[in-house]
A and B are shown apart, each in its own frame.
Chain A
Amino acid sequence: MTEMILREAVTKALREALEDDRVFIMGEDIGAYGGAYAVTRGFLDEFGPERIMDTPISESVIVGAGVGSALAGLRPIVELMTINFSLVAIDQIVNHAAKLRYMSDGQFSVPLVIRTVTGGGGQLAATHSQSFENWYASVPGLKVAVPATPYDALGLFRAAMKDDNPILFAEHSLLYGMRGEVPDEWYEIPFGQADIKRKGNDVTIVAYSRMTHVALQAAAMLEEKGRQAEVIDLRTLRPWDKETVLESVRKTNRVVVVEETWKTGGFSGEIASTIQEEAFDDLDGPVARVGGLDVPAPYNGTLEAAAIPNSERIIKALSDNYGI
């Protein structure tokens, strides 16, 4: 086992990926500068400018050219500096990367990995703090990963590189420094497999990305009140692991879904409605949802903190719905 931070896990994953000659990395400031989040530091010297390509500023062409080069037989990893900027490329992601296999009768495939940085909490305000991975998780043809730990990031990325479908790999901006243990032997994590980060019998907390850690904080607080929470980290949103969630709900009968993005239209709705459709008789009360407040992210620290889900709100949601 080796201890490393999440950034190091992604860097390690990229290095491994580059062993395949067909793989190359493309994005803004990823070469000479080493990446806005320092993930590709040193790569330009190590792999050269043909494989570590700094691009002009155009997210739509970064993704579009990624699609084109994937069609030409390469396996590109493109980087969008933040998921906020992915909006400029959303047509290429949703209408092209996701649909080319379908529109071409399976004759063209797009083995493209789009790495991006998601989430807020760093006082970067409205247009730099958003989390759109739930939007992309609605799109047929795409797969979406949202790792919360170094172990998960490395395992999921390895699976992503073997996948011939286009993948959005969303790394949370505040999790790059998160420490965790990573096995020295090879392992992979398949998409659609959630991870029970903490076992418990009294209540299920479903979360993903940074909210997994907020959920674990809430679980610690619940333990002090004599309640054992089971924390499920979804790890991927498309596909998402329904069975693990349902199995837990059948055991605990109480569930709250926590998500950083705006509550309205959030992925928690998808999860909550699936739970009530398929485990209605196992529920002691309505499925609780905790999401971001329906406001553009404020800049002021106090306001921003109030807008993002925290452990207090999780506890309150459980108390309101289940009386615990």
Chain B
Amino acid sequence: MYEKMVGLCQVDQQLYKAQRMGLISFYMTSYGEEATHFGSAAALHEKDMVYAQYREPGVLLWRGFSLDQMVDQCFNNRHDLAHGRQMPVHYGSPEHYFQFISSPLATQMPQAPGYAHGLKQAGSDNCVIVYFGDGAAQEGDAHAAMNFAATLKCPVIFFCRNNGYAISTPVEENYKGDGLAQRALGYGMEGYRVDGNDVLAVYNVTKKARELVVDEGAPVLIEAMTYRLGSHSTSDDQTGYQDMSEVKDWRERYFPRDRLRGYLQSQGLWDQEKEDELVSVTNETIRSAIKRARAEKKPSLEHMFTDVYDVPPLRLRRQKEEVQAMVAKYPEHFPTASHE
């Protein structure tokens, strides 16, 4: 778990830099929230369906998605599972039971009870987990999804990463009540609040929640208190609205990676030498992944037209022919040499 956590921290650093260098168009880091990913993911079964918001790549890494695959997705090359259709960090992997990320906030939430209903109908003992942030939690969809799941008894773990900020909006300006956990009572479900930066606590609460959800077929809400150490994404600058001394304080006192490392060291399971080696090997893996991903060919233009429907309609086939002719005629405006 620690190795994967380090992997996430390092890939975040390198891909953020890649965006700043103009190699990719966009990126979102998860600094400070790594425990919410790995703690919860480790407590789930591998076929529990994951609906994420966009700041949970650690869940995907835990399940076996590789750093290379993450890099390929961000670079939109031919290995990208979504064939260059999705923007960076909008991962998904059916093989890992992880739904594709969609940008509009909280829109993943109404789908979770539906999927869970399907699992129940099939007599499955798997459940659904849906992640969302403190900002997304204020959307109407969030409320309605929780009410629905509770009223119609759908086995869903609602997992809120309360990281203190929704882009620039601090929680004090986002809601008046006392966070998310107690809203569970209003919906008629159990609610838990946990130290989101203690990976073992997150693991324990998710494990317990999962047992409840699967035994009763009813939803549970977990609110993981954490802190967003980085900016929302590469499109904003946290120094413009976040108190950097507050950021420094959380970084020094509550950083999940440091806490886990400290625990491992105290158990005699880790030391500085192992740390240095891991960081070095991980960085090298990521550097090579980026180098390779950059050089890979981009997805074929053809993929712009596939999967809109199962069978492409006539109009779309005609449009594809028109576009292919245009691209062939003006290669200086539509460079496709780097595409498959």
Chain A positions within 8 Å of B, measured between CB atoms, are 24, 50, 53, 55-56, 58, 60-61, 63-74, 76, 91-92, 95-96, 99-109, 140-141, 143, 164-165, 192, 239
Q: How far is the CA of A70 from the CA of B121 in the complex (A)?
A: 12
Residues in chain A near residue B117, CB distance under 8 A: 65, 68-69, 72, 74
Which of B109, B114, B117 gathers most chain A CB within 10 Å?
Answer: B114
Residues in chain A near residue B121, CB distance under 8 A: 24, 50, 72, 74
Q: Which of B118-136 contact A (CB under 8 A)?
A: 118-119, 121-122, 128
Residues in chain A near residue B243, CB distance under 8 A: none
B112 touches A68 (CB 8 A): yes
New A-B pairs, 18, CB < 8 Å, besides A56-B151, A58-B110, A70-B114? A58-B144, A60-B110, A61-B113, A63-B110, A64-B145, A65-B110, A65-B154, A66-B114, A68-B114, A69-B117, A92-B111, A95-B107, A101-B308, A101-B309, A103-B86, A105-B81, A105-B83, A192-B313
Q: Which residue of A lies closest to B156 (CB)?
A: A68
On whether A165 and B310 interact (CB within 8 A), knowing A55-B152, A72-B119, A92-B107, the answer reads: yes
Listed A/B pairs (12) with beta-carbon separation below 8 Å: A53-B152, A60-B110, A61-B141, A64-B109, A68-B111, A71-B115, A72-B119, A72-B121, A73-B118, A95-B102, A96-B111, A101-B309
How many B residues are at the interface, by size bracket? 35 or more
Q: How far is the CA of A157 from the CA of B114 in the complex (A)?
A: 22
Interchain nearest-CB distance for A143 vs B (Å) = 8
In-complex Cβ contact of B115 among A69, A102, A192 (8 A): A69
Nearest 3 Cβ contacts at the A-B interface: A64-B110, A72-B118, A68-B114
In-complex Cβ contact of B148 among A55, A92, A165 (8 A): A55
Which of B85, B99, B118, B310 gathers most chain A CB within 10 Å?
Answer: B118
Q: How far is the CA of A61 from the CA of B313 in the complex (A)?
A: 29
B102 touches A103 (CB 8 A): yes
What's the count of A-B pairs with C-beta under 8 Å? 145
B310 touches A101 (CB 8 A): yes
Chain B positions within 8 Å of A, measured between CB atoms, are 49, 81-83, 85-86, 90, 92, 94, 99-100, 102, 104, 107, 109-119, 121-122, 128, 140-141, 144-145, 147-148, 151-152, 154, 306-310, 313-316
Residues in chain A near residue B118, CB distance under 8 A: 68-69, 71-74
A92 touches B110 (CB 8 A): yes
Residues in chain A near residue B309, CB distance under 8 A: 101, 141, 143, 165
Interchain nearest-CB distance for A195 vs B (Å) = 19
Q: Which residue of A lies closest to B105 (CB)?
A: A91
In-complex Cβ contact of B82 among A91, A104, A140 (8 A): A104
On whether A68 and B115 interact (CB within 8 A), knowing A55-B152, A56-B144, A63-B110, the answer reads: yes
Residues in chain B near residue A164, CB distance under 8 A: 310
Q: How far is the CA of A192 from the CA of B311 in the complex (A)?
A: 13
Residues in chain A near residue B111, CB distance under 8 A: 64-65, 67-68, 71, 92, 96
Q: How far is the CA of A184 from the CA of B94 in the complex (A)?
A: 43
A104 touches B92 (CB 8 A): yes
Which of B86, B110, B148, B307 gathers most chain A CB within 10 Å?
Answer: B110
Q: How far is the CA of A108 from the CA of B111 in the complex (A)?
A: 13
Residues in chain A near residue B314, CB distance under 8 A: 239
B107 touches A103 (CB 8 A): no
Interchain nearest-CB distance for A110 vs B (Å) = 10
Interchain nearest-CB distance for B169 vs A (Å) = 20
Residues in chain B near residue A165, CB distance under 8 A: 309-310
